[in-house]
Amino acid sequence: MKRIGMLTSGGDCQALNAAMRGVVKCLVNSKENVEIYGFIDGYKGLIYGNFRMLDGHDFSGILTKGGTILGSSRTPFKTIKDPDENGIDKVDAMKQNYYKLRLDCLVILGGNGTHKTANLLREEGLNVITLPKTIDNDLWGTDMTFGFQSAVNIATDAIDCIHTTAASHGRVFIVEVMGHKVGWLTLNAGMAGGADIILIPEIPYDIKKVVGKIQERNNNGSKFTILAVAEGAISKEDAKLSKKEYKEKMKNYKFPSVSYELAQQIEKMTGHEVRVTVPGHTQRGGSPCPYDRVFASRLGAEAGELILKGEYGFMIGYRNREVVKVPLEEVAGKLKMIAPDASIVKEAKLLGISFGD
């Protein structure tokens, strides 16, 4: 008998259900007797012993379903070792619930913060296997995360829709794409949607270069310009500030986001009308695209096989078009960022896309 705990932590995304289904299908098809304990709302469920028993029926018909059937929440790693408001030791509570249920393994689906906590539990002696979910595609140790391609599709659709109205009215449009620290989603959606300017956190922008690109297009007869802007895009001036100085500046920040600040600057410097569109959480919602359904199912199946073999302490990742197991300690605490000299950036520039640098 294998007793498996399962939880989804952090922000939701497409294909979480598909990945969990892949794990369970692998275990069930192996003819191994299994019990699945689903912890509700991420690590909170593991901390407070909030779970429910799951069977094959729970995983039927969820391949195409977005979100997560277990619910999710954010449990910041930086406070995971701090007692909760009632004085409960969160790490100890998770361990106790693991042992109380006599679990053989925890399957944890999540992004960067989730993996830090998962690695901590591994260090505390628990058997853990993780699956890489995030629309940001910023997890170290894997070329791809599930949820990313679905989010790219949605962000690209938003840019596609903006193109027609931008062209009709001859306006500058900014489409703000999710991504606080990394720009994979903005870069891919921007290229797929034919954006003229792409601004990402890894490449601080010069507003004069941004305006220069808009004026260049105008001089060449293009009456509109599309900017794909990551929510974490930063100017060269702000990038030079220390963390303390930047934090102090943001206390008095009067704009909803960087896109609105850019819009005001562009209007002042060019006289063009600028509109901002924010797809927001639509990028994390809806059904997973076919790629993510297949990809998440593959990762889930590999996780199931590791459980059957009794191999723990790994994230199931994807490298060089192959599914691989990556030691958790190599993943935790690292971000996969875009190098400013990366080939995809160079190729985007060859297409005439400006990064404002």
- The set of long-range contacts for 161-168, using a CB threshold of 8 Å and a minimum separation of 24, is 162/226, 162/277, 163/193, 163/194, 163/226, 166/224, 166/225, 166/226, 166/275, 167/223, 167/224
3-state secondary structure of 143: coil
Measure the CA–CA gap between 137 and 295, rounded to whole angstroms. Answer: 13
341 part of the active site: no
Do the beta carbons of residue 274 and residue 241 sit within 8 Å?
A: no
DSSP code at position 335 = B
- 3-state DSSP helix/strand/coil % of the chain, to nearest 5: 45, 20, 40
Residue 252 parent element (H or E): none
Among candidate residues 41, 58, 136, 196, the one labeled active-site is 136
Q: Show Cβ contacts of residue 64 under 8 Å, excluding neighbours closer than 6 positions.
A: 18, 287, 288, 293
Do the beta carbons of residue 151 and residue 240 sit within 8 Å?
A: no
Q: What does DSSP say about strands 322-327 and 314-319: parallel, antiparallel, or unpaired? A: antiparallel
3-state secondary structure 9-59: CCCCCCCHHHHHHHHHHHHHHCCCCEEEEEECCCHHHHHHCCEEEECHHHH
Residue 68 corresponds to which tokens in the numbers above?
């997560």
Length of the chain: 357
Measure the CA–CA gap between 187 and 193, rounded to whole angstroms. Answer: 10
Catalytic residues: 136
